[in-house]
Structure 1
Amino acid sequence: MTSGAILDVARDGMIVFLKAGGPLMLVALAVGLVVSLFQALTQIQEQTLIYVPKILATFGALMLFLPFMGDALAGYMGRIAVRIATGE
Structure 2
Amino acid sequence: MQEAVLFDMLRQALMISVRISAPLLFVALVAGVIIGLFQALTSVQEMTLTFVPKIGLMLIVFWVSMSFMTTALADFYTGQIIPLIAGG
> Which TM-score bucket, shorter chain as reference?
over 0.9
Q: Supply the RMSD in Å over aligned alpha carbons.
A: 0.9
- Other-structure match for 1:4: 4
Return the TM-score normalized by structure 2: 0.93
Q: After alignment, is 20-29 or 5-14 more displaced?
A: 20-29
Distance in structure 2 (CA, Å) of the matches to 1:83 and 1:26: 33
Return the TM-score normalized by structure 1: 0.93
Distance in structure 2 (CA, Å) of the matches to 1:4 and 1:45: 51
SS in 1 for 2:63: helix
Structure 1 residue runs of 4 or more that deviate by more than 2 Å after TM superposition: none
CA deviations 1:31-62 (Å, max 9, x no partner) are: 11110011011111222310000010000000
- List gaps (5 residues or longer) in structure 2: none
1:1-88 equivalences under 5 Å are 1-78=1-78, 79-87=80-88
Report percent identity of matched pairs. Answer: 37
Alignment length, in residue pairs?
87
Distance in structure 2 (CA, Å) of the matches to 1:75 and 1:37: 40
